[in-house]
Structure 1
């Protein structure tokens, strides 16, 4: 700790999600105690927040660097993928950002429309299939090994994720 408002962190190696991790309130029960009392140091500040509906952000005039290119952001909560797709297609919203918020079919649909640009980063999330090995046939190691060896992960990536992803191999039995 350098002073009352400054902390210096020295990491042994690069850790790309550091700022995201530091921004999360933990434990989550603390969030209930400070509900409605938001703090931040980013280029935007929270102007309005309607839980489960939307959040409105405006440029933070006290931000240390340049003003944002976009003066005001409205983050709309749209609970289901189909409604998100329709809102984007109808021009009610400008973008959908985040992992798993549109179906793979919707992504392909927008890729085929000239008015839209689909950008995808390298995977930032892992989807995992977990087997219950505490009962039934999967209690036996040999059954689990046979299942893993016979399971076609590439077929899942092709059929379920339409090649938006890649397989990960594990040795956990």
Structure 2
């Protein structure tokens, strides 16, 4: 059995916005059905319908994309050095370590920028993923989108500075 090489990471390019919008929509529709009903999924996914706004949200943040054989298969955004704003993976790549690779990179970038605590608004679907990464739930939220109420959880994680930073100062 041949092992697939790991995904590659690179900065978002303007030409990536359409595929990221499609990944966003596809991931919500295919992966969140156990936690959100069809109306909630559509309201959430409709954020990608405002293509200009969606693209601006990605380009104003530090957004990285994961590629597999040159094709974008996921993306994640860091806003203000302390908020993991978006983390989405193409459904056919779910469970293959793409989200982990993206989250590792965002945490590393946040730490390199001096962030002490990284925050995420985790969907109910993503909650176990972030808990496994050491994020701790702070509060439950409800967000109103396109006539629907969606629940999520504010979570935080202490970020180690580059080099570990766990030693005593000399």
TM-score normalized by the length of structure 2? 0.24
TM-score normalized by the length of structure 1? 0.24
More helix by share: 2
Larger radius of gyration: 1
More strand by share: 2
